[in-house]
Amino acid sequence: MNMNAWNILLVDDEVEFVSTLAERLELRGINARVAYDGESALKSVAENEPQVMVLDVMMPGMKGLDVLQRVKEAHPQTQVILLTGQGKTRDGIEGMRYGAFAYMMKPLDLDDLIQTLGEAINSDKGTPHA
């Protein structure tokens, strides 16, 4: 897996969580940008379409599932991995119906996340990204 070429966007209002996660991915050679709310995420996607967006479901302002729907409408090739609450698998299942690639629960296992990112990038829907 050539992880250096991955283009990932992490979206979560928990700044310390998402910035530290991006730093850890970077240490592994993965380029991950961050956005701290739904509006910024949509702007970031429009400027530089990511292969995979990791998106928290529960954020202030625009909700994660609304961001998901907007992204899938305008950028269907971007794969979305949802971060859901413990015990709230219903959000994840609903997200899958809107076209999410997968859902995971916080706190994350980094190896699991990287594996899921790889699967999303190598999936049929995710390959057209250069």
Partner 1 sequence: MPEIAQEARFIGSVTALSMHEMQNILAIIRESAGLMGDILKVNAKVDFKHRPNMERTLEHISSHVDRGKGLLEATSRLAHSPDEDLLEGCDLTVYARTVALLSERLVRLKGAAVNFAAPPTAMPVAVGALRLLMTGYKAVQWAVGAGVKDGVVHMDIESGKDFHVLNVRPPAGIDPDLDGVAFLGALLDDGKVEWDGSRLRIFLPVRRQG
Q: 82 with 100: CB under 8 angstroms?
A: yes
Cβ-based neighbours of 15, under 8 Å, separated by 6 or more: 36
**Residue among 16 and 47 whose Cβ is closer to partner 1:** 16
Residues forming contacts to partner 1 in the complex (CB under 8 A) are 14, 16-17, 20-21, 23-24, 27, 58, 85-88, 105-108, 110
**Residue among 43 and 106 whose Cβ is closer to partner 1:** 106
Q: Which run of H or E residues covers position 83? A: strand 79-84
**Residue among 14 and 119 whose Cβ is closer to partner 1:** 14
Closest distance to partner 1 from the beta carbon of 77 (Å) = 28
Closest distance to partner 1 from the beta carbon of 60 (Å) = 12
Q: Is the peptide bond before 107 cis (omega within 30 degrees of 0)?
A: yes
Closest distance to partner 1 from the beta carbon of 82 (Å) = 14
For residue 48 the two structure tokens come to 């530089």
